Structure 1
Amino acid sequence: MYLPPHFEERRIDLLHDLVKKHPFGCIITYSNGELDANHIPFELVPDKGDFGKLLAHISRQNPLAEILKNDANV
């Protein structure tokens, strides 16, 4: 994705704060020739890796769970 330099944000603390304040995100999958967007909760683990780690949760009964089991493009 092209990101013009004037829109780029590199301050990790500011980015982490944004995720903590707005933990609801969108996961987009491509399956059976179609794009699908699902809104799910995310949790930030700030001390994992260089930039932190995002964890997400969905119910096993959510149809998205079956799509993700089959190595979907996400």
Structure 2
Amino acid sequence: MWRLILTVMKILLASLFVGAALSALDISAADLLAEVGMTPERVLQLLTDGLTWAVPNIVLGSMVIVPVWLVIFLFRPPRG
């Protein structure tokens, strides 16, 4: 668990440094998106489309996976 927290903290710290450096060079997120031909609205639309597709599939899959996991968990031999 600590490794995950440390990894997330390292990513956040590296993102902060890179963001500060880009800001010092007067480069914004909108500039970077424009370079690749995207707009913030298009990125938001793609994220919305992805979530619209993923959430029903996650729910459907969990309706199979969770009961199977529960049965396996209940029939495991006790530890220790």
TM-score after normalising by structure 2 = 0.24
- Higher normalized strand content (fraction of residues): 1
- Higher normalized helix content (fraction of residues): 2
